Structure 1
């Protein structure tokens, strides 16, 4: 797929991996629209992004998803790539009876899985009209194996991984739409600070791999330690 001249929407684009994606894709010659829940954080991010714009809203909320999809496709009719990057994660000790494991899991499943399905469905009719389009779902190394620290987050990413494979199969015979999945390992961001993110790779490394994967039409983009799970795809 071409890596320049696109108009790209990035959810969770005001910080971390999403912001790194935005910087890299702008440098490659693309127009970028970032999304996030906090207007203040969006405005701060825009100061680092030459020519980018933003749509504020919480994609985990149905009414916001509908509004964002409408605003995106009406104000940016040339949008042809959607990167589903926004996520939620909680440390979830399943041995602690006082821990509300199900509530944490509900928020993760809603944000990381169900909301992605719904938002993708809202924008797909528009993407299918483009000469060349793509959906990029950001899953995780955690999609391959859960752990005691993030068991329900891992489950939500495993669900997104399975959905992404099904979405790819569904549009396999649609030449103008490609479905990508990128699998970051532990990344040094504010999002992962609680689980030792300082030991992770820089977000820019994930962004570099994304652009390389798009260029090579590599639909499963393994990053860093995730490459050890290549036999699981």
Structure 2
């Protein structure tokens, strides 16, 4: 994929991997649009990086997703890249009745939103000579941690959806990427930390970005990063047989 001259929408762009992608693509000469739930954080980012376009949007809400897509296509018709990055990682104890509000929020944010947004943008992106949908999954899509079962399941589903989406769009200009991070030093997973201001450690964000951008630049459509490679033994050998 070309890494310059694009117009890129990044969900969950207010921190961590999403913000790192925004800054990197901006530096490379792209138009960058980010969305997130936190208006104050978006305002802070725009104050620091005036070229970044911001939009308040809770991707867990159907109406917000639909309004986001309509707004982007109307105001930035050159948009040709969608990065489905927004995610939430929660603890879930399946041995007792679960809080369905938390479960539904995790599923909507991590799985339903990328599915819905990809479908809302697919026809528009297919009109572009160069286009891409980049889904952020996780090494936990392949080897789950039992204390965050819903998160891991949503990321496994993102891996599966990405395979299907790539197949459905194979005759279009849209390249469909899956970037699978290992544990990266961001605020993701604060649900399980008493001090919510701390990150959980892991691979430094800049090291993750080096490898992720290299994969995107070289059209490596499925790219487990660093330690996530150990969680991914091989592709589904039956996929091409079942989907001629």
Distance 1:208 1:36 in 2: 24
1:138 aligns with 2:136: yes
Query: RMSD of aligned C-alpha atoms?
Result: 1.6
Matches within 5 A, 1:83-162: 83-95=83-95, 97=96, 100=98, 102-162=100-160
Q: Within 5 Å, which residues of 2 pair with 1:165-204?
A: 165-174=163-172, 176-194=173-191, 197-204=199-206
- Looking at structure 1, the residues matched to 89 and 31 of structure 2 have their Cα atoms a distance apart, in angstroms, of 29
- Matched pairs, number: 230
SS in 1 for 2:233: helix
Cα offset, 1:50, TM superposition: 4.8
Task: Give the whole-Å Cα distance in 2 for the aligned partners of 1:141 and 1:50.
Answer: 34
The match for 1:208 among 207, 210, 213 is: 210
User: How far did 1:217 drift?
Assistant: 0.5
- 1:20-56 deviation per Cα after TM superposition (whole angstroms, max 9, x unaligned): 1111111112110010011111111223435111111
Pairwise CA distance, 1:80: 0.6
- Aligned-pair distance for 1:190? 1.4
- Structure-1 separation of matches of 2:109 and 2:139: 18
Output the TM-score relative to the length of structure 2: 0.88
* Alpha-carbon distance between aligned partners in 1 of 2:25 and 2:208, rounded to the nearest angstrom: 12
Which residue of structure 1 lines up, in the alignment, with residue 38 of structure 2? 38
Q: 2:131·2:174 contact (CA, 8 Å) conserved in 1?
A: yes
Given the alignment of the two structures, is residue 81 of structure 1 paired with residue 102 of structure 2, yes or no? no
TM-score, normalised with respect to structure 1: 0.92
- Of stretches 194-203 and 47-56 in structure 1, the one that deviates more from structure 2 is 194-203
Deviation by residue 1:151-189 (Cα, 9 ceiling, x = unmatched): 111001111110010000111222x11000000111111
Task: Give the C-alpha shift of residue 193 in structure 1.
Answer: 4.0
Q: Distance in 1 between matches of 2:23 and 2:192?
A: 25
- Three-state SS of the structure 2 residue aligned to 1:47 is helix
Tell whether the 8 Å contact from 1:135 to 1:180 is kept in structure 2 after alignment.
yes
Structure 1 unaligned segments of length 5 or more: list them. Answer: none
